[in-house]
């Protein structure tokens, strides 16, 4: 059987195997002020795409700029990671905003990340909603449409990254923008194909071996088992490991050791 071409060699340092044939993305740049979130500098050599916080759920100008520079130095694709204006809740609390307000909130964040990236000589490739906004848009047509239309307004081939097989994919197609289908290495799935709420025990995977097994299943077998053992077909172009997962580096290293 012919091997698939990998997106980029993952974890080149101290890795003796080839990479999984799929893009690996991570949520980054979420530190702000005196608060440190994640281990971005250690993660960069292990990923191919990064979703950079835009200041509303995490991140501040200095940390955002540092993260952009890190992405450029490592040749990592850059995406904007906008969320609800919820710094205290880390963007994980649902907020019902009026359409015009949500559009403005998104436009503000995306424009900031796009402008900073371009001023440093880079290019913004995609937008991935964060936290509660992401989960809501995966099943709420209104929310997904607002996100897709806002991204479309920026033009320049800017893509939407969202949950594989969700309504976000449908709305991206309607808005005539590229869609990057995403799955998760460090989150369990429910029988409905959506991510288990973080309040459910075991919803976040911390064990590197378990995360690597799930990543392998998605990348190679095109599916994953739910928390009850049901098989869920998934056709994903990118796999996410959360930057604020305390074992993110160990998980990414485990993925690098999986090679095909």
Nearest to residue 251, comparing CAs of 224, 216, 227, 201? 216
CA distances, 82 to each of 95, 150, 201, 203 (Å): 14, 12, 27, 23
- Whole-model pTM? 0.89
CATH number, residue 60: 3.20.20.370
Read off the pLDDT band of 245 (50, 70, 90). Answer: confident
The pLDDT value recorded for residue 34 is: 83
Residue numbers of the domain that contains 84: 23-256
First-to-last C-alpha distance (Å) of the chain: 11
Name which of 127, 166, 134, 131 is nearest 150 in CA terms.
127
What pLDDT was estimated at residue 41?
92
Q: What is the 3-state secondary structure (H, E, C) of 124-193?
A: EEEECCCHHHHHHHCCCHHHHHHHHHHHHHHCCCCEEEEECCCHHHHHHHHCCCCEEEEEECCECECCCC
Q: 151 or 10, which is more confident?
A: 151
pLDDT tens across 98-147, in order?
999 999 999 999 999 999 999 999 999 999 999 999 999 999 999 999 99
Report angle CA 221, 245, 255 to the nearest 5 degrees: 35
Residue 13 within a domain: no
Domain membership flag for residue 3: no
Question: For residue 151, what are the contacts with CB-CB under 8 A and spacing of at least 6?
Answer: 110, 127, 158, 159, 160, 172, 175, 177
Q: Is residue 6 part of a domain?
A: no
- Would you say residue 160 lies in a domain? yes
Q: Is residue 8 domain-resident?
A: no
What's the pLDDT tens digit per position in 70-109? Answer: 999 999 999 999 999 998 888 789 999 999 999 999 999 9
* 11 inside domain: no
Quick check: is 84 in a domain?
yes
Confirm whether 27 is domain-assigned: yes
| 211-221: average pLDDT | 93
Looking at the structure of the chain, the number of domains it has is: 1
């Amino acid at each position: 059987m012919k091997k698939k071409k990998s997106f980029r060699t993952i974890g080149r340092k101290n890795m003796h195997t080839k990479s999984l044939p799929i893009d690996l993305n991570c949520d980054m740049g979420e530190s702000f002020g005196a608060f440190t979130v994640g281990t971005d500098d250690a993660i960069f050599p292990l990923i191919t795409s990064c979703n950079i916080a835009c200041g509303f759920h995490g991140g501040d100008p200095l940390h955002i700029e540092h993260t952009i520079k890190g992405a450029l130095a490592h040749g990592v694709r850059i995406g904007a990671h906008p969320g609800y204006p919820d710094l205290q809740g880390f963007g994980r609390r649902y907020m019902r905003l009026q359409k015009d307000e949500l559009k403005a909130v998104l436009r503000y964040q995306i424009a900031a990340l796009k402008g900073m990236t371009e001023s440093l000589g880079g290019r913004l490739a995609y937008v991935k909603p964060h936290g509660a906004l992401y989960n809501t848009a995966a099943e709420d047509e209104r929310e997904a449409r607002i996100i897709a239309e806002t991204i479309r307004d920026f033009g320049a081939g800017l893509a939407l990254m969202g949950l594989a097989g969700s309504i976000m994919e449908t709305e991206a197609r309607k808005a005539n923008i590229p869609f990057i289908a995403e799955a998760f290495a460090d989150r369990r799935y429910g029988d409905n194909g959506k991510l288990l709420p973080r309040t459910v025990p075991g919803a976040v995977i911390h064990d590197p071996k378990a995360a690597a097994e799930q990543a392998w299943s998605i990348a190679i077998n095109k599916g994953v088992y739910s928390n009850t053992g049901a098989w869920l077909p998934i056709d994903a172009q990118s796999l996410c490991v959360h930057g604020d997962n305390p074992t993110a580096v160990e998980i990414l290293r485990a993925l690098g050791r999986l090679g095909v």
